[in-house]
Amino acid sequence: MDPKPVTAKLANTSLTLAILGWGLYLGQWCFDLTLGILLAIFSGGASAVCSTVLDFIPFVLWIVGVVMGHVALRQVKRNGAPGRGRAVWGLILNYSGIFFIVLLTILVLTLLAFGIGAGVLDQILPSFSDNDGSSFLPRILLWI
């Protein structure tokens, strides 16, 4: 039985990293929007630091997946080896993940720069304001 060509392995790895990255990112995002918010409020932002670190894992997986997808495509072009479809889908999913992270980062930084939403949490949970009336939301967002 012939072993799989290197190109097919690289294409499979690119696609697997894309799917794994999206699974980790969406799973962690769902956790952040449910229990993560409560943990951030009650732990003073300590759990948000862990969440921020975990946000980088899918990004790294997508970067590695892009590199492997391009190497696989180059080998397919050169040798005519199998795996072109998997490499292309891996690239599509990896690039879409990177695009989504960059877009989300720009959105969050824009909102922080203009102070949009700084008073939203105080309107929903007025007891979470400091004694002087200032919001602690910007401090939480620094941890997120």
Pick from 42-56, 79-93, 126-140: least confident: 126-140
Q: Domain residues of the chain, as ranges? A: 6-113
Residue 59 pLDDT > 60: yes
pTM of the predicted model as reported, rounded to 2 decimal places? 0.70
Give pLDDT, residue 48.
64
Which residues does 42 contact at the CB level (< 8 Å), separation at least 6? none
Q: Over 90: is that where the pLDDT of 61 sits?
A: yes
pLDDT band for position 3 (cuts 50, 70, 90)? low
Residue 13 scores a pLDDT above 70: yes
pLDDT of residue 66: 97
